[in-house]
């Protein structure tokens, strides 16, 4: 992302409806996974300014990596110390170091030229039977919005495409579902208007009015509850859980 986007992210990810809601969905999915308990270590591959590390530390010793020096610095300022500057394509850890690897909105980035190779690298540092939980942006025809340009989006994914890449990387898919579905229509219209008018040069990283922010947060909390029991057929994001083989 542009450096200014990291600064915005660090300032608002604890209160912006999208980050609060997506973290809640991720945490609910995490809680329901049958987690291995060999090392009690978790890696957040592409941890940004540390928002996900806060809740991941509730489940074990959470480590993070990010390629951008500003992101690492901002995460350190929040008290996260187990962070290294690295890329998802070259993780600075030995084989079988982590029970679980997470990666939220990272593999889509222009700096990740080979997403399957990155997934294989994540598998390398996981114990046999380890789990991978990751999220990617969806809906290919939303590419080109001001938001996507600001956060350097290389690609948006479909559910089927994610499943194929999971198999290519040597994982077995456990669960693949779309998310950010309840707010899909207004968000889609907002992004399409930006594409049509070529307006704006920054991302959507800004806090809406308090009423809108609370309402959107509540809707995503409702979505997290629904996702406990069902998958969604469409949405602005794809969540995936995959398992590393034991042989």
Residues of the chain where predicted confidence (pLDDT) is lower than 50 = 196
Q: Where are the domains of the chain?
A: 3-244
Give residue 197's pLDDT.
52
SS3 232: strand
The answer to whether the CB of 97 falls within 8 A of the CB of 125 is yes
State how far the Cα of 213 lies from the Cα of 218, in Å rounded to an integer.
9
Give the fold, CATH level 3, of 3-244: Rossmann fold (3.40.50)
Can you give the pLDDT at residue 225? 96
CA-based nearest residue to 147, from 203, 206, 207: 203
152, 232, 42, 63 alpha-carbon torsion, rounded to 10°: 30
pLDDT at 149: 67
Neighbours of 198 (CB within 10 A): 11
- The per-residue pLDDT for 22 is 94
Q: What is the pTM of this model?
A: 0.89
Q: What is the pLDDT of residue 151?
A: 66
- 141-196 residue pLDDT tens: 766 666 566 767 778 999 999 999 999 999 999 999 999 998 877 766 655 655 54
CB 242 within 8 A of CB 171: yes
> Quick one: tokens of 123?
């598998």
Q: For residue 145, what pLDDT is reported?
A: 61
Instruction: Write the DSSP assignment of 43-69 as a string of letters.
Output: EEET-TTSHHHHHHTTSSEEEEEES-H
Report how far apart, in Å, the C-alpha atoms of 185 and of each of 11, 137, 180, 182, 205 are: 27, 15, 10, 8, 19
Q: Under DSSP, is residue 135 helix (H, G, I), strand (E, B) or coil?
A: strand
Q: What integer pLDDT is reported at residue 192 of this predicted model?
A: 61
Task: Tell me how far apart the alpha carbons of residues 131 and 34 are, in angstroms, rounded to a whole number.
Answer: 9
Helix, strand, or coil here: 99?
A: strand
């Amino acid at each position: 992302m542009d450096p200014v986007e990291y600064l915005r992210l660090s300032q608002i990810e604890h209160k912006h409806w999208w980050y609060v809601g997506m973290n809640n969905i991720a945490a609910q999915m995490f809680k329901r996974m049958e987690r291995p308990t060999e090392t009690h270590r978790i890696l957040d591959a592409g941890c940004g300014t540390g928002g996900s590390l806060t809740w991941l530390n509730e489940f074990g010793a959470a480590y993070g990596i990010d390629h951008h020096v500003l992101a690492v610095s901002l995460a350190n300022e929040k008290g996260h110390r187990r962070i290294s500057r690295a890329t998802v394509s070259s993780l600075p850890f030995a084989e079988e170091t982590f029970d679980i690897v997470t990666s939220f909105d990272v593999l889509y980035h222009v700096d990740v030229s080979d997403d399957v190779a990155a997934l294989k690298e994540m598998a390398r540092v996981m114990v046999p039977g380890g789990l991978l939980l990751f999220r990617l942006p969806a809906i290919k025809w939303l590419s080109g919005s001001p938001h996507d340009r600001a956060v350097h989006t290389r690609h948006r994914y479909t559910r089927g495409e994610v499943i194929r890449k999971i198999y290519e990387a040597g994982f077995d898919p456990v669960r693949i579902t779309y998310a950010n579905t309840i707010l899909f229509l207004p968000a889609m219209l907002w992004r399409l208007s930006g594409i049509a008018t070529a307006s704006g040069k920054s991302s959507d990283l800004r806090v809406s009015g308090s009423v809108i922010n609370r309402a959107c947060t509540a809707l995503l909390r409702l979505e997290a509850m629904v996702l406990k029991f069902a998958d969604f057929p469409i949405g602005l994001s794809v969540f995936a859980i995959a398992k590393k083989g034991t042989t």
